[in-house]
Amino acid sequence: MSPAVKLRAVRLLEALGTWSAASQESDGGPGLVAARARLAKLGYDGRLADQATGLLGSSGAAAVQVVDAQYGGILSSSSSVLVVLKQWRYAADGTTVLAGGTTVDVRLVAGSPQWRVTALHPAAPSPPAASLGSAAAALLATPRLHLPVAARADIRSGTISAGVLAALHGLVARHVVDVSVVKSGHPLYVFGTTRRSDHPRGHAVDVWAVDGHPVVNPANRALVESVMRLGIALGAYQVGGPVDLDGGGSQYFSDNTHHDHIHLGFHS
């Protein structure tokens, strides 16, 4: 694919969400002004910082760790990269460390000499449900399911379909599963089309690693194919991944976007 596209997205968010305890005026310090300066120094449009103020702070220091960078879509001249990240920052007291994170849909267009970031769309999960069902609660409690911050919030919101929850239970009964995206942080439409994605409805989940093995690594293809087949057995109506297992049939698909993760889509 195009690793340079992902690198542009990742470097921007690392710069945006990482700063030292310097003054507000320094590009190394906290605040929006400093964040704009950090981005501009790296060749990005500094105004992009205004689109992800949830990663900023007014004091102390902070650091970002990128967990995964997955294609939300990639075409010859435009791309979406879903960057899953953790962030740690000092509270106002200067000693307490607050842990958080999010998933950001980074939009880019092709340019010379490198791709240009045009927009940032941070995840906006629904609020927690007043009463959470047993299936969702059990998933939040199992150490065999690795959920990033936004995906955990999605499940806690009670807005994820029964099909997705049941399939995740089936997957973790057999594997340790690293999820990248469930609902929030994913494009509303299948990239490059006007067709609504299953993700914003809570009817899909993406997996970037199984038993610690990244889907993107061709050496893990046998494991990936077995999990794709398992997804259908667990009720998915369609499974995307690095390989089309039925050669143009209706159950499986593969394209440039899905070489780095397994997509499981559900009708309900």
Determine which helix (DSSP H) or strand (DSSP E) holds 240, and give its type and residue range: strand 238-240
Distance CA 255, CA 192 (A): 13
pLDDT score recorded for residue 23: 58
Residues 12, 13, 17, 23, Cα dihedral to 10°: 10
pLDDT score recorded for residue 80: 98
Please report which residue ranges of 162-261 form alpha helices under DSSP H.
162-172, 221-233
- Tell me the C-alpha to C-alpha distance, in Å, between residue 5 and each of 31, 120, 146: 27, 14, 25
Three-state SS across 71-103? EEEECCCEEEEEEEEEEEEECCCCCCEEEEEEE
268 residues of the chain, pLDDT tens digit each:
688 999 999 999 999 999 987 655 567 888 999 999 999 999 999 999 999 999 998 888 999 999 999 999 999 999 999 999 999 998 878 789 999 999 999 999 999 899 999 999 999 999 999 999 999 999 999 999 999 999 999 999 999 999 999 999 999 999 999 999 999 999 999 999 999 999 999 999 999 999 999 999 999 999 999 999 999 999 999 999 999 999 888 899 999 999 999 999 999 9
Q: Which CATH architecture has domain 3-122?
A: Roll (3.10)
Domain boundaries of the chain, sorted by first residue = 3-122, 134-265
Distance CA 17, CA 24 (A): 15
Which runs of E-coded beta strand occur in 8-159? 62-74, 78-90, 97-109, 116-122, 145-146
Of the candidates 195, 212, 202, the residue with the CA atom closest to the CA atom of residue 73: 195
- 204: its two tokens: 């899909």
pLDDT score recorded for residue 46: 98
Q: Which CATH architecture has domain 134-265?
A: 2-Layer Sandwich (3.30)
109-114: Cβ within 8 A, 24+ apart: 109/77, 109/78, 109/79, 110/76, 110/77, 110/78, 114/4, 114/8, 114/43
Do 3-122 and 134-265 show the same overall fold?
Answer: no
Residue 113 C-beta-side C-alpha neighbours within 13 Å: 1
- 245: its two tokens: 């297992």
| pTM to 2 decimal places | 0.95
- 216: its two tokens: 């993107």
Strand order in the sheet with 78-90: 62-74, 78-90, 97-109, 116-122
- Tell me the C-alpha to C-alpha distance, in Å, between residue 253 and each of 36, 148, 178, 186, 241: 40, 25, 21, 19, 7
pLDDT score recorded for residue 94: 79
User: Is 170 in a helix, a strand, or coil?
Assistant: helix
